[in-house]
Amino acid sequence: MDTHASPLAAIVATARTFLFVPGHRPDRFDKAAAGTADVVIVDLEDSVAPDLKRQARDHAAAWLGQGRRHRAMVRINGVGTPWYEDDLAVVAGLTDVVMVPKAQAPEDLVALSRRLPGNSGIVPLIETAGGILRAPDVCAVASVIRPAFGSVDLATQLGVDHRSYDALHHARSALVLAAAAAGCAAPVDGVTTSVEDEALLSADVEHAAALGYTGKLCIHPRQVDVADRGFTPSEREVSWAHGVIAAAAGGSVAVHEGQMIDRPVVLRARAVLARACGSRPAHQTDTGPA
């Protein structure tokens, strides 16, 4: 991510929870922004029917144009759709971060970044086979903050169950590798389509976290706190990390809990403490004046 990125881009880079809000439901915008999600995603794409696209775009522009950023990014319609150009014309400059669906061509993201303000960022939603195969190049685009994983659309294309960890294991891991290789923030995992099964949501978050994901796309406010807890380092992890840092303080190779402590282990411990101690956004209603 660009060192001159906007405050919202910095928030997106460390956020644990992202809550989708349909663009044609402006009655939900303020409520979502006042909730506990780190970032609100005003959606102009999948949750909005074709005959409501213009209305959703207008609602998003009106809300974002009030002079506050609201911790909100916008998912525009994809490149090549009938709505892409109009979406881009409206949201450019009203939000500092744009989510791009079906992202698979780095040249499209480069072209998009040239039409956004200089400190803007992009979150590519990787949800096609082509996107997974080209993920290293997509993540390497300078304006990309971090990728997100579109599990449901990808599973549909592959003809597999989006709830299957085994079926999507390779794709999920490939995205983690691509982000790490490009120096992006770690990926955001896809949605859990059941809004009432808290045990399933917790299991999904645990699985994603084990693979290297550090955030979750949410489709209902009740999912937010569960996802946040799942990506928060546990007391045991924090205790381990403090122990590693203390053991390594002498500057030579040490042992902690029977494990040799070298530089990679220290770096992992520091990352755990960074995630636990606030290197992420505080919950607030906006990020300041536009």
- Residue-wise pLDDT for 55-111, tens only, equals 999 999 999 998 655 689 999 999 999 999 999 998 888 899 999 999 999 999 999
Residues 36 and 247: their CA atoms lie apart, in Å, by 36
Question: Is CATH 3.20.20.60 the right assignment for the domain spanning 7-232?
Answer: yes
Q: What is the pTM of this model?
A: 0.88
- Residue-wise pLDDT for 104-146, tens only, equals 999 999 999 999 988 899 999 999 999 999 999 999 999 999 9
Is 235 among the annotated ligand-binding positions?
Answer: no
Q: 283 falls in which pLDDT band (50, 70, 90)?
A: very low
Is 222 among the annotated ligand-binding positions?
Answer: no
Amino acid letter for position 120: S
For tokens 């992890």, name the residue.
Answer: 237
Q: Where in the chain is the domain with CATH 3.20.20.60?
A: 7-232
Asked if residue 45 lies in contact with residue 101, where contact means CB atoms within 8 angstroms, the answer is: yes
DSSP element (H, E) containing 62:
helix 53-64
Asked if residue 99 lies in contact with residue 148, where contact means CB atoms within 8 angstroms, the answer is: yes
Count of CB atoms situated within 10 Å of the CB of 158:
15
pLDDT, averaged across the chain: 90
Amino acid letter for position 143: S
Is 75 among the annotated ligand-binding positions?
Answer: yes
Instruction: Mean pLDDT check: name the lowest of 62-76, 160-174, 251-265.
Output: 251-265
